[in-house]
Structure 1
Amino acid sequence: MNSIRLDGKRVLITGASKGIGADIAETFAEAGASLVLSGRDQEALDVQARNLEQQYGVRVTAVAADLADADAPTRLAAEAAAAFGGLDVLVNNAGISHPEMVTDLTAATFDEVLTVNLRAPALLAATVGAAMARTGGGSIVTVASAAALRALPEHYAYCTSKAGLVMATKVLALELGPDGVRANSVCPTIVLTDMGRKVWGEEAKAAPMLARIPLGRFAAPAEVSATALFLASDLASMINGVDVPIDGGYAVS
């Protein structure tokens, strides 16, 4: 991916301290971007920022935010823009999941998942996107899920939130496209982060899901990061309003 560069681009990445977000942060740092990393743990973000600065020689700052808070998207957008005088790219990655059968679902769990997975990223993208529209354009890349495209058992709230996020991204593309703002989403299947291995590492649990993926495997974090990097870059300058499955054919099987 060294051929794709983001030199001069100012990027906000949410959920950046671990998993897919951490891999995206490293990929974008390697590509030369200036980064604002966000998550809930300020200390972990600070350590990550120092490591990326030292390894790749780029500017990195950390802004802690709990996206369950109602005012977090507005505050995070303002603080991230202030860090480097504006934003060129937003990677909307933060999300949570509480796997359970719909018969066990509670209002509290449903509200928590939709707040973090849909309301917060939708409002953040709208706020950042509106600012980008006023200053010449930009790119919004939202990490949704294959669960937005196909139903997944024990993920009622999660599927609902991610499907809504895909459609919210399309509306952003429609409304902000005339001002040079591109908005796209990526929809990975299960990704083998530490958490992914913990949840899906048992062969008995993984086998039925793997059987639905024509390539016969789950995704690696780098495969999500590479796609996000392309969509954020000028190489994707005519790509707007799409949802890209990173799923080995799961959506068509």
Structure 2
Amino acid sequence: MHLNFRGLRALVTGAGKGIGRDTVKALHACGARVVAVTRTNSDLVSLAKECPGIEPMCVDLGDWEATERALGDVGPVDLLVNNAAVALVQPFLEITKEVFDRSFNVNLRAVLQVSQIVARDMISRGVPGSIVNVSSMVAHVTFPCLSVYSSTKGAMTMLTKTMALELGPHKIRVNSVNPTVVLTAMGQKVLENPEFAQSLKERHPMKKFAESEDVVNSILFLLSDCSASTSGSGIMVDAGYLAS
């Protein structure tokens, strides 16, 4: 499948590392102009060297006011990837207000805010668009110590569907990708216990976790016209986990 995003402008959050960084690189290679958003400036500096011409933007999406200042005048965006997230691991009985608030502010509230900014501009310009929310298979299954993270992703499932319902008449499609553990820096946090990691891998019918490239390819498919009739859906990139 050859994808061409020339003439389109994309915005990717959580662009500094992992899936977000690889998504920026893939969109850039496919000809898109990319706004790369992350809170770590050093990541943006190195990314700009790898992808000359991207538009780096440094902001903490957990801060509503700062996000409004940074992205309020971002200009026309045709493709949006809501990837920014935090995975703060705590047992249920030890969850703090700070962890709860930070998780929902970054993982869910920022998706709402950034999507509103982008969708309002799409509607004012009268153009179609595509939004992809990066979720997780833990929107559907439980892992120990991930109750808050899982809750943000479960809520994202319904947010994705309601966005698709309300934005569909404006020719804006909204979907999610739901990967299993991806061996990025965030994914490694879940696997700090080697015995748990091995037992989890064995529960996947394909006996593997996902590669970042697997997730990126699904994101690109959902952004592209190859998925022109797909909206309100989630692609499971879970090596068959939910089938077991």
Pairwise TM-score range, normalised by the shorter structure: over 0.9
The yes-or-no answer on 1:246 pairing with 2:243 is no
Q: In the alignment, which residue of structure 1 is the partner of 2:108?
A: 118
CA deviation vs aligned residue, 1:91-128 (integer Å, no higher than 9, x gap) = 00000011111011112211111111111112211221
Q: How many residues align?
A: 243
**Alignment partners' CA distance in 1, 2:54 and 2:96:** 39
The match for 2:13 is: 14
Q: Where in structure 2 are the equivalents of 1:86-125 lying within 5 Å?
A: 86-125=76-115
State the alpha-carbon separation in 2 of the partners of residues 235 and 68 from structure 1. Answer: 33
For 1:189, which of 171, 176, 180 is the aligned residue?
A: 180
What TM-score, normalized to structure 1?
0.91
Find the partner of 2:197 among 189, 200, 206: 206
- Structure 2 unmatched runs, 5+: none
Q: Given the alignment of the two structures, is residue 23 of structure 1 paired with residue 13 of structure 2, yes or no?
A: no
% identical aligned pairs: 36
State the Cα deviation string for residues 186-226 of structure 1 (Å, max 9, x = none): 00010012443465265312122112211110000000000
Seen in structure 2, the aligned counterparts of structure 1 residues 76 and 182 have a Cα distance that, compared at 3 Å, is farther
Q: Secondary structure at the match of 1:114?
A: helix
Q: Which deviates more, 109-118 or 187-196?
A: 187-196
- Secondary structure of the residue aligned to 1:186 is strand
* Aligned counterparts, 1:85-234, within 5 A: 86-135=76-125, 136-197=127-188, 199-200=190-191, 203-234=194-225
Q: Give per-residue Cα distances to partners, 1:72-100, cap 9 Å, x unaligned.
A: 4433432432xxxx100010000001111
Distance 2:71 2:98 in 1: 27
Instruction: Give the aligned partner of residue 32 of structure 2.
Output: 33
Measured in 1, the distance between the counterparts of 2:243 and 2:112 equals: 27
CA distance in 2, matches of 1:39, 1:79: 17
**Cα offset, 1:4, TM superposition:** 1.3
Partner of 1:56: none
Deviating more after overlay: 176-185 vs 202-211: 202-211
State the SS of the aligned residue for 1:71. Answer: helix
Alignment-mate amino acid for residue 64 of structure 2:
A
Q: Supply the distance in 1 between the matched residues of 2:91 and 2:98 (Cα, whole angstroms).
A: 15
SS in 2 for 1:150: coil
**1:225-245 Cα deviation digits (max 9, x unpaired):** 000011111111111110111
TM-score by length of 2: 0.94
Paired position in structure 2 for 1:47? 46
The answer to whether the aligner puts 1:74 opposite 2:68 as a matched pair is yes
Q: Say which SS state the counterpart of residue 72 (structure 2) adopts.
A: helix
Structure 2 CA distance, aligned partners of 1:185 and 1:76? 25
Residues 151, 159 of structure 1: 8 Å contact kept: yes
- Stretches of structure 1 lacking an aligned partner (at least 5 in a row): 54-58
Whether the 8 Å contact between 1:23 and 1:225 is mirrored in structure 2 is yes
